[in-house]
Structures are given as C-alpha cells and as structure tokens.
C-alpha cells in the first residue's frame, strides 16, 4: 500500500502595520510619504511563508522572498496627498498554498481620488473614482469632474457635472465612472489640440448642499494623456492602410499567419496605429497582435 502525505495547511496571515488604523477616514491630509510595514513571522514548516505577495492601490502584486524561517518585514511607502490608499498582502508556501488575504485601507483628506493614481494613456475614455467624506456629519450630494491642460494655471473647466453619488464602505463618492476624454477641450478657449497627444489634469469636486459649498481634490490631482481620437469618416487610403484627414491617425492591419486545424482555424493578425506628432511620426505607435485559436483569444500589446 502506498501512503501519500498531502500538505494542506495555510501559511500564517501576514500583518500590515500603518501609522493610521485600517479604515481610517479622519480627514487629515499627510504632507509627507506614509510608511507602512508588511510582515510575516517565523513559523514551523507546516505554516511557514515562502513569499509575500503585496499589492498597493490595486496594482500588480510584487513578490518578496522571506527568510529561511519564514520571517520578513517589508516597508511600503505611500505618497502624500488626499488619496485613498489600500495595501493587500498574501503569504504563500513553497507548494503554492496561500494564506487569507490581509488588507489595510486609509482615506486621507475630505475630498480625494481613488483611481487612477498613475496617469494612463487613452484615446477615448478612462475609469475614474473619487470620494467626498463626511464633514462634521455633513454629506456631499453631487459631484463634478474638472480639467485643465497640464503645465498651465488656467481656470478649471467642467468635464462632467451633476454626477450622482454612490456609497462604498460608508464613504460617498463617484465610483468606476467612465469619463469620456475625447471631447474635452473641443469648445474651450483656447481649445485643446485634437491631432496630437495632450496631458490633461483632472480633479473631483463635491457639493455639500447643506452649506452650499464646493470642495475639490486639489491635494490629489491626477492626470490622463489623451491620444488623438479614433479614425472618423474623413479618411483616405495611404499605402497599405488608411489615414484620418482630421487627426492624422494612421491604421494598418495585416494577417501574418493562418492555418486550418481540423474544423477550427488558427490565425495571427496585427494592427498598427500611428499618430502624427507635429511633423514627426512614431511617438504613439502601437502594435496589436491577435492570436485566435478554438475557444481561446490571446491579445498581446507591444509598445514600440
């Protein structure tokens, strides 16, 4: 008779320690980076951590190797400002078994941003989230999103107004809102260029109707870089592709490989998008490779 021993115990849950308690919503805005510590303790082999997987603000997790006994103390620095910060950590054993996920969330300032905290590059829309905390029991009743061109001191203009609020974890705000940036600045004076990439600063503003006051996220500004709009109806043939006569955006697609596999087929296709920047080409070039197999679609984006 063969006997197998299966190791199924979970490693010990990591500990997250910060200067502000988990769930903090005190209204204070730190002016210097906040340092937290994620740690695992030494443990017997059956509960021992091999790696700590740590994610900050929903970013891709980073894995840290523990000491031989499973211990580790990893410092995490969070930038200052009115933001909601969230750290999650998972301990993993050598056999891949994971611990319960530990998390720690802190909301700084009365008005701030949740996402995006890094400036994305988009052509049309971006998902944004922000919050308006309670002020001495007063709650916000509506919100707006304002913009201005990065690097200027121009007055803020409205991108979206009268946005309804929802509540998450007792905090009112704008959550997972799809903001269309393609038409921002079209009718402003001066207007934003539509044929070249442009970086736009954004901020949330929340209205507290009981005191008839607006409060904006000036301590948590975030930005987005907008690429020229998608190809429109004014296009012309240009060599192997087509070009927009409005934005100068060039599209070309080709099929590199196609193979019949039984009753199914395998194909590899490629699309290139080239944006005109001033008198030069290639600043915002994207190659999209699409591999299609039965029941599976694999998309890989390579930026040149």
Domain boundary among 90, 107, 124: 107
> pTM for this one?
0.68
Residue 140 and residue 218 in one domain: yes
pLDDT over 50 at 121, yes or no = yes
Helical ranges in the chain per DSSP H: none
Residue 221 and residue 116 in one domain: yes
Residue 117 and residue 102 in one domain: no
pLDDT over 90 at 268, yes or no = no
Task: State the residue range of the domain holding 103.
Answer: 15-107
Helical ranges in 58-178 per DSSP H: none
Domain boundary among 73, 107, 141: 107
Residue 122 and residue 78 in one domain: no
Mean pLDDT of 242-249: 60
Task: Extract the tokens encoding 268.
Answer: 């590899």
What's the pLDDT band for 15 if we cut at 50, 70, 90?
Answer: very high
- Inter-residue long-range contacts of 288-297, CB under 8 Å, 24+ positions, other chains counted: 291/266, 291/267, 292/265, 292/266, 292/267, 292/268, 293/261, 293/264, 293/266, 294/261, 294/264
Task: Tell me the backbone φ, ψ of residue 219, rounded to 5 degrees.
Answer: -90, 5
Residue 276 and residue 248 in one domain: yes
Residue 213 and residue 284 in one domain: no
- Apex 203 CA angle, 138 and 284, nearest 5: 155
Taking residue 38's Cβ as centre, other Cβ atoms within 10 Å add up to 25
Residue 93 and residue 119 in one domain: no
User: Number of structural domains, the chain?
Assistant: 3
Task: Extract the tokens encoding 255.
Answer: 């099929």
Is 253 domain-assigned? yes
Is 8 domain-assigned? no
Contact 79, 28 (CB under 8 A): no
Is 37 domain-assigned? yes
pLDDT over 60 at 52, yes or no = yes
Residue 159 and residue 262 in one domain: no
Is 6 domain-assigned? no
Residue 257 and residue 239 in one domain: yes
pLDDT top residue among 39 and 59: 39
What's the pLDDT band for 233 if we cut at 50, 70, 90?
Answer: very low
What's the pLDDT band for 218 if we cut at 50, 70, 90?
Answer: confident
Which one, of 116, 102, 97, 13, lies nearest residue 61 by Cα? Answer: 102
Task: Extract the tokens encoding 241.
Answer: 């592709």
Residue 98 and residue 155 in one domain: no
Distance CA 75, CA 61 (A): 15
pLDDT over 80 at 7, yes or no = no
Distance CA 174, CA 130 (A): 5
Mean pLDDT of 75-98: 93
Distance CA 66, CA 70 (A): 5
Assign residue 204 the CATH number of its domain: 2.60.40.10
Domain boundary among 168, 193, 226: 226
Is 3 domain-assigned? no
């Amino acid at each position: 008779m063969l006997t197998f021993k299966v190791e199924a115990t979970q490693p010990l849950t990591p500990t997250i320690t910060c200067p502000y308690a988990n769930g903090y919503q005190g209204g204070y805005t730190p002016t210097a980076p906040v340092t937290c510590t994620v740690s695992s303790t030494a443990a017997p082999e059956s509960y021992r951590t091999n790696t700590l997987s740590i994610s900050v603000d929903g970013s891709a997790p980073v894995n840290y190797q523990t000491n031989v006994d499973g211990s580790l103390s990893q410092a995490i620095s969070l930038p200052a400002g009115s933001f909601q910060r969230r750290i999650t950590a998972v301990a993993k054993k050598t056999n891949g078994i994971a611990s319960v996920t530990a998390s720690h969330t802190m909301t700084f300032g009365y008005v701030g941003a949740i996402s995006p905290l890094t400036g994305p590059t988009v052509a049309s829309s971006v998902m944004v989230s922000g919050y308006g905390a309670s002020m001495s029991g007063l709650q916000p009743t509506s919100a707006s999103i304002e913009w201005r061109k990065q690097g200027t001191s121009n007055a803020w203009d409205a991108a979206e107004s009268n946005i309804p609020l929802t509540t998450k974890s007792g905090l009112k705000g704008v959550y997972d809102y799809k903001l269309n940036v393609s038409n921002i600045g079209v009718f402003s004076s001066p207007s934003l260029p539509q044929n070249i990439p442009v970086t736009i600063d954004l901020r949330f503003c929340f209205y507290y109707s009981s005191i008839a006051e607006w409060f904006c996220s000036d301590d948590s500004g975030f930005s987005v870089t907008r690429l020229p709009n998608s190809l429109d109806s004014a296009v012309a043939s240009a060599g192997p592709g087509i070009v927009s006569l409005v934005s100068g955006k060039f599209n070309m697609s080709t099929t590199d490989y196609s193979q019949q596999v039984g009753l199914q087929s395998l194909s590899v296709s490629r699309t290139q998008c080239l944006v005109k920047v001033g008198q030069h080409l290639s600043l915002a070039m994207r190659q999209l490779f699409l591999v299609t197999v039965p029941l599976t679609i694999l998309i890989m984006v390579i930026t040149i």
